[in-house]
Amino acid sequence: MARMKFPRRYVIVLLTFICTNVCYIERVGFSIAYTVAADAIDVNQANKGMILSMFYYGYILSQIPGGWAAQRLGGRRVLLLSFMLWSLICGLIPLDPNRVVMLVLSRLFVGIAQGFIFPAIHTVLAQWVPPQERSRSVSLTTSGMYLGAAGGMLFFPSLVKHMGPQSVFFVEAVLGVAWSVIWFKFSSEPPHTDLPKKIKAQSGGVVAPRTVKIPWRRIIFSLPVWTIVVNNFTFHYALYVIMNWLPTYFELALKLSLQDMGSSKMLPYFNMFIFSNIGGVVADHLITKRILSVTKTRKLLNTIGFVVAAVALMALPSFGTPSGTVICSSVSLGFLALGRAGFAVNHMDVAPKFAGIVMGVSNTAGTLAGIVGVGLTGNILEASKASNMDLTSSETWKTVFFVPGYLCIFSSVIFLIFSTGEKIFE
């Protein structure tokens, strides 16, 4: 009896899932470790915001170059090089809040290195994955981010407590190098023969020769692309604010440290992992069974995800309890992840040959949201403190959570009106 061959594209999707998992372990890990180290020497909130947002300054610089590099050099090679670079930085740089210049430069270069990763991933997925598997493949890959964040929130506070903040950098470096070795051994460039004949016929030309001219002008001035950009900005504004500042909210407003929260601190990110995959499966089902068109499917899931997330975000500071905060943050992040089956897969619909490029443009906006949202939140809190407002009061935090709530409503309307699921770039 002949052995059934496991499709190579499944291996690629699994490896990219692990890739995003490790990336977000690193991001959450730094936020937790640096917050503890900075609080120990009374670094003010504005300076904390500056350090926490420095990653995104580097990240934004390499998004579009990352898409170009993946298109020209191959996503597999770009992923390997970028992973090795940020892993080495984490392994070599000490975590010392007093050495501000060194921390700024290290976070800047980690951001630059990781900025190549997601455009490269989407280039790889567009080359390997046929249209009828795109939603669940992209959702599974991106859900690794949330599982990584959940794992980081669960394990790193205890690690910091017992081994110190520097131990987080060591763990991150080991994970990064380990993934690089696995990727080097088990990944490969996409052979045209890997897809079954039936799937290749339906693939719509997902593999573009690296010499194809990139339609930069049409991409930049495309309204459907801009709807993806707007929603990517909003998604990451909400995500990065919660990821970087929710630990501070727990400690200041709720008088509860992450070490004392047990497993509940990982629930928001674990919820993202679950809802991201639900969104991908539902989207592919609606499309393959011809229940809804690609356009209507993307709009439906994006709207549901962002509107429910907006309500939960604006309700969050009203509870003023740990359980209420965990529930609201879990609902908001979970439904934002559901919405990724709308906007986050849409670039493969409109530009399958240039998915990495469009992802780079879109993720530039998402990274800008990290710079604006994380830094602005620190300044809002510092201004509130200067105005003699009590940072332990939930009322003080309403502005922090209402801003992404309003952005979610605005972005969902833009996507509902202007997005499309049709291919517009040949």
Annotated domain spans of the chain: 8-190+215-418
For domain 8-190+215-418, the CATH superfamily is MFS general substrate transporter like domains (1.20.1250.20)
Q: Quote the DSSP letter at residue 1.
A: -
* CA–CA gap between residue 265 and residue 158 (Å, rounded): 12
Q: Quote the DSSP letter at residue 190.
A: -
* CA–CA gap between residue 249 and residue 268 (Å, rounded): 15
What's the mean pLDDT in 385-393?
68
How many of the other CB atoms lie within 10 Å of CB of 290?
7
How does pLDDT run across 37-76, given as a tens digit for each residue? 888 888 887 788 788 878 888 888 988 888 888 888 888 9
What's the mean pLDDT in 280-292?
93
Is residue 270 within 8 Å of residue 326, measured between CB atoms? Answer: no
> Structure pTM?
0.77
* CA–CA gap between residue 20 and residue 137 (Å, rounded): 13
Tokens 């707007």 belong to 230
**H/E stretch holding 256:** none
Residue 378 in this model has a pLDDT that exceeds 70:
yes
**Per-residue CA distances from 158 to 168, 198, 208, 244, 262 (Å):** 10, 50, 47, 18, 10
Describe the chain by its helix, strand, coil percentages, rounded to 5: 80, 0, 20
Q: How far is CA 43 from the centre of its chain?
A: 27
How does pLDDT run across 116-165, given as a tens digit for each residue? 998 899 888 888 888 778 888 888 898 898 889 888 888 888 898 889 88
Is residue 355 within 8 Å of residue 347, measured between CB atoms? Answer: yes
